[in-house]
Amino acid sequence: MEIEYIDEENKTVHYDDKTSVSHAEFLKKFTHFFKNKIAGETLVPVDMEWFMKRTSGKNLEQLMKGKKYEGFLEGSQGKMLTRGQKIAIGTIVTIVFVGLIVFVVMNQQGMIPGIS
């Protein structure tokens, strides 16, 4: 059964077998047909029953494990350190360098005894 034409005035979809449906009903059927057929749909534990009826439990386990690792990867990309952690590390490095410079200057001026 294929779509013959779409009547935009009356908002109906006509098929080649001389049947017709409203635009809203067509969208509902279209959405229902493609549900769970489009790649990238989020899987939830409720889908387990669907998978158990049609496939084995091992397939579901592998699929959920893959989704879990995919989520970890997406969550970690470009977010190795938070803004606060970057500021803390920068502050510590700056303090260490300033301390090292002060130590070298004081040593060169002879203010630190016992180090030559």
Write the DSSP symbol of residue 11: T
pLDDT of residue 19: 86
Asked if 10 contacts 18 with a C-beta cutoff of 8 angstroms, the reply is no
pLDDT of residue 97: 97
Side-by-side strand order, sheet with 3-7:
3-7, 12-15, 20-22
pLDDT higher at 67 or 85: 85
pLDDT in tens, 23-70: 888 888 877 766 666 555 655 556 666 666 666 556 667 777 777 777
